[in-house]
Chains A and B, each alone.
Chain A
């Protein structure tokens, strides 16, 4: 395809990028959307038990992640961070592998629910389900960067719902005191599952809280990819200079239910969704790039075909990968195996097995294939 030209449109020049950069960013936004739409289809088709996604967040995520340096800087993402992860080095296949929870899933080897991405190779920290815990990890990563003088920047992202957790306060305070190379991105989509922002914070903006920590709080339109890029670039440069952290609030939209287990029509009016679609970053960015003559019919068609092939191939690959072997389920509790952490011999059919009663309790269940299975992926919920 034709993303080889080295030209620099006025639009690209205005943000210090090349046209090829802009096209790569657009491609990442579009790829994230395509992956996201695919996993909902797979869920509805009964292929994967749970989906939590980021539709409506992709433009902001790509713009905000782009100024960071891959394999040097760090991101501690959250469960809607598909586009962030794609922008920071993970592939569509990596994301699909997590959805299918297969043995070779690079995020967790099939141990975590879908959406819990992480990848050491790309400095994307493994995430959990309790929200905002990653805040402190990113602050600690930034602390180590400062102490070790590595020049790294750590960014973490979360929803505005998570921003109410105490860990956010503790982390921002500490990052500000020590002027750490740290960026908190709050992707404000207006809802913490079902609870609107009016019941989450008394202020209009999460970013207004930054003043309380003596750091810049920046509000950016999350449907404007390049505005997000600029805000993040400023924050990254500031962090890299040693001037300390920034809180960036991106106003985004949530185009789907919270998760595949959520019925959002119960708390969200129909017209709201229709209105929100007019603020979608994907068509907006496409139009912007077309108006600037960066994106042509030919390039757009080529990207669309490439993305379809990539997502198809990723799905096909993940579908046919083996499930994890239950004999590996005890591995990596610690760096090395500890004999005393293994269940007693009779739980695995030892000399007293015939007496019964000791068999197959949950704690010993890894011993047989059937028991090791099933627990993963059947959970719904999450936040």
Chain B
């Protein structure tokens, strides 16, 4: 067991997977000598060299598109998109190509590829370095979307993602890179894709979250516990395929569901969670499925007062919990 920051867990996993499997390569912008703008790939170039740690030109579509081709021809690329905000030039390659390859070829071709991208706000990143973009991608059949919240999960899920035979989009909340620490075993464990975790048991309200919000949900649960509200927190970990069983089991037990997500509220991932709960746990509900989410402005504003206004935080989640508890 060793204490690791979130980004240390990512970096270690990349290095370990590259040592374990010579078909694993890393490519992206500044991932080489510099080791990535967040240092997620620091040291990889020195250990594995030019062939396996590739600094690409500023070409997101190529980073993903060439990864697709490399995956088809025997490699397991781990592509880094420098910020999730910059992933959209690659959207066509992700949507039309990577995610459809297996289906459209009737299992003739698969794309074992992982795309890592830092996302999220609260770091003074403004409109184009703060976005939560998961909803654009969770809509896509054929694409797995993972958002871990702890170093343990980051490591276990990244291993699973790299070893998976289908494309996996792996979002890492950049505010967590150095602020979140946790114990990580020295073993070659994996955390399976598609499995949520109940990170706090409770009886009255289920709070569903992922990424940074999974931490804020736990903080909010502690706050309202002192007020006598018993909250269960479900950390989804994999957004798609979603672990409906863990989600629905929790909601059927508590009878109330609040979804916390940082993305814009309208059409965000929480909307799908809400729909699933409404459709499949309606008979058990004691109150409206509720969303605590980012406001519907086109991005996170820069000024710290405006940024604080945008960001979902433990206080906002706690307020939502109190309101729902009183319903």
Contact = CB atoms under 8 A, between A and B. Distances in A.
A135 B52 CA distance: 21
30 contacts: A107-B106, A108-B105, A108-B108, A112-B104, A118-B105, A120-B108, A126-B104, A133-B93, A133-B96, A136-B62, A136-B64, A136-B68, A136-B69, A139-B62, A139-B69, A140-B71, A144-B69, A147-B70, A147-B75, A148-B73, A148-B74, A170-B62, A173-B57, A173-B59, A177-B57, A332-B102, A333-B142, A335-B164, A341-B141, A341-B241
Contact of B66 (A109, A171, A341, A344): A171
A349 B25 CA distance: 47
A315 B65 CA distance: 35
B222 interface: no
B97 interface: yes
B199 interface: no
Interface in A62-108: 74, 76, 105-108
Nearest to A104: B106
Interface residues of A, number: 53
Contact of B65 (A129, A135, A335): A135
List the 6 closest pairs (A to B, CB-CB), nearest first. Answer: A140-B69, A136-B65, A109-B106, A140-B66, A144-B73, A137-B69
B198 interface: no
Interface in B278-326: 279-280
A146 B50 CA distance: 12
A33 interface: no
Nearest to B25: A147
Interface string A331-369: 111110011110010000000000000000000000000
A74 B68 CA distance: 14
Contact-residue size bin, chain B (C-beta under 8 Å from the other chain) = 35 or more
B179 interface: no
B141 A333 contact: yes
A106 B106 CA distance: 8
Given A137-B68, A140-B73, A147-B25, A128 B96 contact: yes
Contacts of B215: none
Contacts, number: 164
A166 B57 CA distance: 14
A180 B75 CA distance: 16
Nearest to A338: B241
A341 B243 CA distance: 10
A105 B97 CA distance: 20
Given A108-B106, A139-B69, A170-B65, 17 more contacts: A116-B104, A118-B104, A120-B105, A126-B108, A126-B109, A129-B96, A133-B92, A143-B69, A144-B73, A145-B73, A147-B25, A148-B23, A167-B65, A171-B62, A173-B59, A173-B62, A344-B280
Interface in B248-290: 279-280
A107 B105 contact: yes
Nearest to A138: B69
B244 interface: yes
A108 B52 CA distance: 32
A119 interface: yes
